[in-house]
Amino acid sequence: MKNDDKPSLAARREFLSKLGRAATCTGAAIGAAALGVMPNVSAKSEPAADAGSFPTKDYDWSKHQWGFGVDATKCIGCLRCVEACKRENDVPVNAHQFRTWVERYVHLEDDPEVHIDSQQDPVNIEASGSEKEFRFANRYKDAKVDKAFFVPKLCNHCTHPACVQVCPTGATYRTEDGVVLIDHGYCIGCRYCVQACPYGARYFNEEKGVSDKCTWCYHRITKGLQPACVEVCPVGARVFGDQNDKQSPISLFIRNNRVQVLRPETGNAPNVFYVGIDKEVN
């Protein structure tokens, strides 16, 4: 280091020292002011909470607690629910991204392994003719089938959702009426939630750059309609309703059947209740 550099070094040190002191002083001053300002800011949104019903003027979420039932003994695997959901919710039209889907479980004689496929299996895509339509191929027609059944799947709208816990931006949350939603405006597309969900219920929408999943058709249920998949199910394998109402279809479904939830050991406490499934289903 040369000697003539010293004055500039000293000058820089002096400048930084002054800057530090100035920052501390301003910080303290603004900090003191902020203590007075902050309560005002948070108070601004308080009164709105009691003004009328939320989220819409005709629908009060504090009066509902939604629940979903799946009766696998009734499902015929026609996949009308999958098509209806895609149409209703603007899900990309392909055979790989779904908000709801149907799985087929087949036990063959003399084969200890269970054969599982869904509509996105290549054989089933071929049977449907394109990735825009969905159909289960009759691939076990000539096999010795011991037991077979279809299981509709969707987001479980858990009471303690792992996906909400991991979201770094508050873009996914559980509403007061028990629906787990995604705020597409706040989602940064990090896909932590896709990884966190133990049920594989979330997918990443590349077109929009956000995570997406079933909302139980929140825009329909808040208008008094059924979710699209429930609306179109021709055999009543899907049941939806308000758990607060003891006569609603879902309350009756839970009361009149021995129901179970998927992967209870994960502690997510799902709100989709299943009837007629085997231990292989999870």
- Binders in 187-206 for other proteins, by CB under 8 A: none
Tell which one of 159, 219, 264, 267 touches other proteins (CB under 8 A): 219
Provide the 8-state DSSP code for 225: P
The candidate with the shortest Cα–Cα distance to 276, out of 243, 253, 244, 245, is 253
280 binds other proteins (CB under 8 A): no
104 binds other proteins (CB under 8 A): yes
Q: Please identify, among the stretches 75-83, 195-203, 252-260, 263-271, the one whose residues bind other proteins according to the rule CB under 8 A.
A: 75-83
Q: Which residues 6+ apart lie within 8 Å of 86 measured at CB? A: 93, 98, 99
Tell me the closest approach of the beta carbon of residue 181 to other proteins, in angstroms. 6
Site for other proteins in 133-172 (CB under 8 A): 135-136, 138, 140-141, 143, 145, 148-150, 170-172
97 binds other proteins (CB under 8 A): no
Tell me the closest approach of the beta carbon of residue 125 to other proteins, in angstroms. 15
Burial of residue 135 (CB within 10 Å: 0-12, 13-18, 19+) is middle
The candidate with the shortest Cα–Cα distance to 63, out of 224, 215, 173, 274, is 224
Give me the sign of the Cα torsion angle 265, 271, 276, 280: negative
Pick 3 or 112: Cβ nearer other proteins: 112
Pick 30 or 269: Cβ nearer other proteins: 30
Question: In angstroms, rounded to a whole number, what is the distance separating the alpha carbons of residues 102 and 27?
Answer: 58
